[in-house]
Homo-oligomer: A and B are copies of this chain.
Amino acid sequence: MAASRTPAGSVTIQDVAREAGVSRAAVSKVIRNAYGVSPAMRERVNAAIKKLGYRPSVSARGMRGATYTLGIELPEFANSFFTRLIAGATTAVADSPYQLVIAPADQTHQEGYRAIQALVDRQVDGVIAVSPMVESAWLEEIAASTPVVMLGRHDASDRYDTVVNDDAAGARLAMRHLLELGHRDIAHLTSIPEKAVIDPGVPQVIRLETYRAAMEEAGLGSRMRVVGVGVGEAAAHRAALAMLGDPEPPTAVFASHDEPALGVLRAVADAGLTTGDVSVVGYDDIEIAGHPGISLTTVNQDGERLGALAARLLLERIAGRTEPRHEVIEPELVVRSSTRPPRPSATSARLRALGDR
């Protein structure tokens, strides 16, 4: 009952060959721009292709040659930073014969593996992956047969390429900004779940370590406060509300990403406070951060540039490059109105009152 998968309309290379009066091999040569084709034959074949509306089967191609498909594994779509990557990659491959295909991976731990494997199973010619959580050894195994570019990984393997922004530098910018404004009670809200075991080299970990180092350097080691929430705005909102209810709440929060930073902003508003009371810094510079209603100070890592660069590296690998490349992009601090100098006395009094009730 199910419709036939190859209906009458489906035209194969054989049909084109018959129409043009040549062999299958000849048609194959023409569509691949291979050597050994006379202009006359090329023309006849192209005419036949056009006339019949022929489209090569990617599956059949994949069995021997290339699929002209690049796979991107993405762990999250809610965070618009990730979607910027796609925009960058899309434009980078726009006038290549390659088609981009995205495999969504849920936040859960195993999903990164599943999605990348699914792409490899589908014979993509190369993979760009954004899961910082998968093991390096496993990736190297994949990379042995399929070119791989990893985004946001600081562990430099010589089997795959990496593109990262300098998370240490970015986090330093954020912390210096808060310290220069005069903040001393600076909390860090990280997307690393409490008590999770995680590779070092993951952006969040580097941002966390940089926070710690900056606090120590400033002689504020005793005032460090790190809250590990998972992924998502909602979790950050809850954690921030709890934090603001503390007897001694922080005067500034540095969040590991913009998304949780939005949650903090929401919590600040919910608590009847403003960013004059509690400064907030994010990381990513997602689109909405610049909106006047949000106006979040954050660290910009140019997502489109990262995505485009990753795509270019992947194309180079496919073209034959084997020496690894590891690109680092410099982040920039974007100061908006979510960060202000602290109001020491008034604020702490007011917040203490809030904590008491």
Interface residues of A (CB under 8 A from B): 1-7, 9-10, 55-63, 67, 69, 77-78, 80, 83, 86-87, 90, 99-104, 106, 117-118, 120-123, 141, 144-145, 147, 233, 262, 265-266, 269-270, 287-288, 291-295, 318-320, 322
Contact = CB atoms under 8 A, between A and B. Distances in A.
Contacts of A266: 291-292
A125 B78 CA distance: 27
Contacts of A101: 101-103, 118, 122
Given A1-B320, A9-B141, A294-B293, A123 B265 contact: no
A145 B67 contact: no
Copies of this chain, complex-wide, total 2
A120 B117 CA distance: 21
A63 B59 CA distance: 6
Given A9-B145, A288-B262, A322-B1, A104 B118 contact: no
Contacts of A102: 101-104
21 contacts: A3-B145, A4-B145, A5-B145, A6-B145, A9-B144, A10-B145, A57-B121, A59-B60, A59-B63, A67-B122, A77-B80, A77-B83, A77-B86, A77-B87, A86-B104, A100-B104, A262-B291, A265-B291, A266-B291, A269-B293, A293-B294
A297 to B, nearest CB: 14
Given A56-B121, A58-B123, A78-B83, A145 B7 contact: yes
Contacts of A295: 293
Minimum-distance CB pairs A-B, first 5: A59-B62, A293-B293, A77-B83, A269-B292, A102-B102
Given A57-B123, A62-B62, 15 more contacts: A3-B322, A57-B62, A58-B121, A59-B61, A77-B83, A78-B87, A90-B104, A90-B106, A99-B118, A101-B101, A101-B102, A122-B122, A266-B292, A288-B288, A291-B293
A77 B269 CA distance: 28
Contact of A294 (B57, B233, B291): B291
Contacts of A233: 287
A70 to B, nearest CB: 11
A15 to B, nearest CB: 15
Contacts of A55: 117, 120-121
A104 B319 CA distance: 23
Contacts of A80: 77-78, 80
B103 A100 contact: yes
A170 to B, nearest CB: 23
Contacts of A3: 144-145, 147, 322
Contacts of A100: 103-104
Q: Which of A58, A103, A118, A293 has the most B CB atoms < 10 Å from its CB?
A: A293
A123 B69 CA distance: 13
A67 B67 CA distance: 14
A265 B293 contact: yes
| Interface hub of A1, A2, A104, A318 (most chain B Cβ within 10 A) | A104
Contacts of A123: 57-59
A6 B145 CA distance: 7
A99 B295 CA distance: 38
